[in-house]
Structure 1
């Protein structure tokens, strides 16, 4: 059974048909990436999954349970956690307080402390800055914090929206290595929305190509990397 599945999803902004018949499946332990140009509908797909933008037609399932019309907080409670585009950490809270906000719905205090230690092991730079205000961190450090905050919820599936956005190339490389590590070592299932198609397909198991709200291609990440159409349109080859 898929951890997450979209079946024939249609989403609108008023009369604008933003997503058309979107079907996506994410299996246990996979990294699945959704690639496409700006305005293709990638973020709208995530907003539909999270219940922020209502789905007009089609269904979304988490572990076989229909979550299509649940409110966002219920979807979070069921194990969907998002790293939003632009990071959106709490700038006036410390690093540690931001992480505590990620675990807001949890009651297992001992396990929360253990998980905080784990993300500090994953991101030693955050451990050094745990009492520093989030707004004073560099862009790369804020991205690390946004990822860590989402992990503190112990998600069933981690949604990531453009984690490379606005970061220097060396930092982007590091962030993608960490995403791969989170998937392999923690067995965290990840749905990755990313404009940097090359980096995303290098770490993903399979991918979907979104164009003007429609899935145009889907295949293993390896085959998509070798696909001439994908190379021309998204890899600059």
Structure 2
């Protein structure tokens, strides 16, 4: 009798385990990203006049948190690998070692590369409930630091900001420099973001530049040319 009960208990435990596994798997599937048609996504967000010249889509996905992400890569020649020059090496060599977070900052000695375009782009559509907060967070009250004030461990600071014409809109953009340590060596990369929202949902475009390349807002031109505002005229307050 006890063996029979043990068998029944074992079967019930097995089915319970399978049910739990199925629920877990189902939950994971429901929380995974799903592919989105690129054309439909762009037509719902913009008045497309074409596709940004020199760019291709890598993926377009709806995320579990309500955002939709479209990742793009440049069709241009890859940027040459950055090599630290003698002048920079000499300047960094003069910085005393072992001083920790209170030591001299290396960031002002890092050399820029000029004339290189963006290498990657990310278009993010935020859900309606968070759109206003995201636009405020990304484009207002950012604060500014000089390079001399950047923390020893590195941090992201605004380098420049402004507004550009997008149809009848004047939309904000921000140039960010991300100071960081890779293999404990100081370096940086630039990003530029722009608010391409003409409806209630926030549409934010991010451009990423190769290591040490100085970001320039002219890199936004192919996107603002190809993707015209969905709502032609800004609302009058």
User: TM-score interval w.r.t. the shorter chain?
Assistant: under 0.3
Work out which structure has the larger RCO, using CA pairs closer than 8 Å and 6 or more positions apart in sequence. Answer: 1
Pick the structure with greater CA Rg.
2
